[in-house]
Amino acid sequence: MIAPLTEQADQAGAPFAAPWPLLSRPVPAWRVLTATAAKNLRVARRYLPNLLGRYAQLGLRVAFFLLMATVVTVRPGAAAPLAGRELFAFFLAGMLLVVFIRPSLYAPLEMASADLQSGTLEYLFATPGSRYGYLAGAVLSELALGLVGFLPLFGVLLWTARPTALAAALMLAACALMLVALTALGVLMALLAILWRQVGSIAEVLGVVFEMLAGAYLPVSAFPAAVRGLACALPYTWGYDLVRHYALGERWATLLPPWQEWAMIAAHAVLYTALSLHLLRRAERRAKQTGLHVL
Amino acid sequence: MTDAVVAEAVQKRYGAARVLAGASLSLRRGETLAVLGRNGAGKTTLVKILAAALAKDAGQVTVLGRDLDREPAAVAHLCGYVGQDSERSAFPRLTVRENLRYFGVLRGLRPGELDARIALLAEALGFGARLDVLFGTLSGGQKQAAIIARALLHDPPVVFLDEPTKGLDPLAAARLRAFLRGRVRAGLALLLTSHVTTDVEALADRVAVVHQGRVPVSGAPGALLAALGGAEVVEVEAAGLTAAARGRLAGLGAVSRVLTGDPTYLGCVVREPLAGVEAVVAALRAEGIAARFRQRALTLEDAVLHHLGAAGAREAA
């Protein structure tokens, strides 16, 4: 005995016939994003030694830059040389974003690679859920994990640089805006894995180049003009510059007037988000030509 | 019955290799269609395309009247899918329940209905006691059961299962078959591939045989069996079964078909059990061939192998 047809309508209002009411419903991208981030955090908690290792790595970096600050002087373009406490603040401002940048760039890529191998991506891409939400969820969980490193670093930076309350708030706002662009870049990196499968080495190179170019460790103003041009295409450059501007005040000369740097980060965030959304659809179509389960 | 899935002239290439060369099939509501064929025939590729896990090069697929190309999201809401070798396709460091909850959220299930569906499926598929252990610690069969539960979590009206009982123990396989039969009776359209004849015989209302990227044969199992002209097979084992001996057997009035085998084995489908055996024995004696005989019922596997052979011969011609 076959159940009578149930006339239903999809979200566009078009009717179709199914034997019973559908349980599968459209899910907003933010719901996929938060569910994926929660899932990743739960998994990360179960790999505790790895999590601790990551914070130990961050601690080592901070110690290294503290040592550097005692023996090195940096001359950031036209501004006065930075040394000692100010140089440590310069490095800390870079580290603040490095805490987020590296894992956020690699996390979606690693997740996509692992899901290709296990067949999970094939399943997920056969469901109606938001692909962007899924990949961005990997970034969100990394950002949450990064906060554990970010907050003490930010505290040390405040203690070292002694910015005003407004400057500290603007530093946080610059970081937050940059994270939107960072999410889009993370999704773009994941697309490399979806299209070309094994891309760990390419991602590693890109990550290091991005960090170097954007001025995580050296001021962009010290680079040759051609390299500075490339640096301007990265949202991090403006993030580092603004954070250093608010941390060091008059001691730091920004590449552009601050309001223009804010506009640059916002423009990058919009541009990269639009680009990643567009390319994600194309990458899925292309990847589905060869299949999404790498056995 | 209403067509739930219609695939027309589906084509797919992987580089220079043509995997599907115009495969067509249909699946109705309240029906189970078993897609059979040799390894590499294109079954898995066809299922992946129907489930929107793989893009086709040409052809058309509709699911409950929705075109897969024009309305992929609408089709995805209607379908459940278990791919081949997908028993690892969940998160090993989450429990089974956490995995199912996560995938259920991605499908838009509400918390209450999600927990109810998890409990129902875990009970039906026999892994209720393992819901709160890490997915990675399950046995292969238990993982497969959980993956099947994931495909059924949103109670889809159309389900594609590629070798669903692979790795399941006989009890778990029987449970799955019983559950699926119930849903099919309620109107589920089920398409499965399997090399396990028990699954096919227990579930399939119709069989589609994929051969060299096409579906040259499809029909009810009974019809495929009936096309062989008998219900019993006399198996013959002998050294030196010559072409002449095969020809003689094929010409016997009591034998409707000679199922191809190797040089030391063949099967004769006989029209009447007793008269058929006598005729086969007498014919081989007349050829001076000493043989061992065994009589058994004709199976769906015989029918599929025969139809595959016939399809191959037509292709060659």
Three-state secondary structure readout of chain A? CCCCCEEEECCCCCEEEECCCCCCCCCCHHHHHHHHHHHHHHHHHHCHHHHHHHHHHHHHHHHHHHHHHHHCCECCCCCCCECHHHHHHHHHHHHHHHHHHHHHHHHHHHHHHHHHHHCHHHHHCCCCCCHHHHHHHHHHHHHHHHHHHHHHHHHHHHHHHCCCHHHHHHHHHHHHHHHHHHHHHHHHHHHHHHHHCCCHHHHHHHHHHHHHHCCCCCCHHHCCHHHHHHHHCCHHHHHHHHHHHHHHHHHCCCCCCHHHHHHHHHHHHHHHHHHHHHHHHHHHHHHHHHCCCCC
* Alpha-carbon gap, residue B302 to A223, rounded angstroms: 76
Average pLDDT over chain B, rounded to an integer: 90
Q: Which pTM value belongs to this model?
A: 0.85
Q: What is the pLDDT of residues B209-266, one digit of tens each?
A: 998 899 988 899 989 889 888 889 999 998 878 888 888 888 999 999 888 767 788 8
Q: Which among A18, A39, A123 has CB closest to B81?
A: A123
pLDDT digits (tens, 9 = 90+) for A274-284: 999 999 999 89
* Cross-chain residue pair B55–A46, CB shorter than 8 Å: no
- Range of lowest pLDDT (A189-193, B49-53, B56-60): A189-193
Question: pLDDT-derived band of residue A181, with 50, 70 and 90 as boundaries?
Answer: confident
Task: Tell me how close the Cα of B314 comes to any Cα of chain A, in angstroms.
Answer: 30
Q: A49 at the B interface (CB within 8 A)?
A: no
Indicate the pLDDT class of residue A11, thresholds 50, 70 and 90.
Answer: very low
If you average pLDDT over residues A84-113, what whole number do you get? Answer: 82
Considering only residues 69 to 98 of chain B, which have any Cβ-Cβ distance to chain A shorter than 8 Å? 73-74, 76-79, 81, 83, 85-86, 88-91, 93-94, 98
Contacts of A36 in chain B (CB under 8 A): 102
CA distance A48 to chain B (A): 12
Distance CA(A53)–CA(B184), nearest Å, equals 52
User: What residues in B contact A122, CB-CB < 8 Å?
Assistant: 48, 53, 83, 86, 89
Q: What distances in angstroms separate CA B106 from CA A12, A20, B81, B83, B150, one per listed residue?
A: 19, 20, 15, 18, 11
Confidence of residue B310 (pLDDT cuts 50, 70, 90): low
Q: Among all chains, which residue has been given the structure tokens 């400057």?
A: A167
Q: Lowest mean pLDDT: which of A10-24, A123-137, A173-187, A227-241?
A: A10-24
Q: Does A50 touch chain B (CB under 8 A)?
A: no
pLDDT at A9 > cutoff 80: no
pLDDT in tens, B142-186: 999 999 999 999 999 999 999 999 888 999 999 999 999 999 999
Contact call for B89 and A290, based on CB within 8 A: no
Per-residue pLDDT reduced to its tens digit, A99-111: 887 777 888 888 9
A24, B102: Cβ pair inside 8 Å? no
Which residues from A are below 8 Å from B91, CB to CB? 39, 43, 120
A224 contact partners, CB below 8 Å, separation of at least 6? none
Q: Which residue has the higher pLDDT, A224 or A72?
A: A224
> ipTM of this model?
0.84
CA–CA min distance B106, chain A (Å): 6
Query: Rounded to a whole number, what is the distance in Å from the CA of A26 to chain B's nearest CA?
Result: 6
Of A2, A46, A295, the CB nearest to B93: A46
Structure tokens at B308: 């595959």
Give the model's pLDDT for residue A251: 79
Q: Indicate yes or no: CB of A292 within 8 angstroms of CB of B53.
A: yes
pLDDT band at A16 (very low <50, low <70, confident <90, very high): low
Mark which residues 191-230 of B lie under 8 Å from A by CB: none
pLDDT, average across residues B202-210:
93
Q: How far apart are CA A35 and CA A31, in angstroms?
A: 6
**Nearest 5°: CA angle at A204, between A203 and A205?**
90
Residue B208 in this model has a pLDDT that exceeds 50: yes
For A170, A219, A228, A266, the CA distances from A259, given in Å and listed in that order, are: 12, 19, 19, 11
Question: Is residue A15 over pLDDT 70?
Answer: no
SS3 sequence, chain B?
CCEEEEEEEEEEEECCEEEEEEEEEEEECCEEEEEECCCCCCHHHHHHHHCCCCCCCEEEEEECCEECCCCHHHHHHHEEEECCCCCCCCCCCCEHHHHHHHHHHHCCCCHHHHHHHHHHHHHHHCCHHHCCCEHHHCCHHHHHHHHHHHHHCCCCCEEEEECCCCCCCHHHHHHHHHHHHHHHHHCCEEEEECCCHHHHHHHCCEEEEEECCEEEEEECHHHHHHCCCCCEEEEEECCCCCHHHHHHHHHCCCEEEEECCCCCEEEEEECCHHHHHHHHHHHHHHCCCCCEEEEEECCHHHHHHHHHHHHHHHHHC
Q: Calculate how close chain A gets to B247, using CA atoms only, in Å.
A: 45
At residue B31, what are phi and psi to the nearest 5 degrees?
-135, 150
What pLDDT is attached to residue A2?
Answer: 38
| Predicted pLDDT at A200 | 76
**The pLDDT value given to residue B184:** 94
Q: Are A136 and A187 in contact, with CB atoms under 8 Å apart?
A: yes
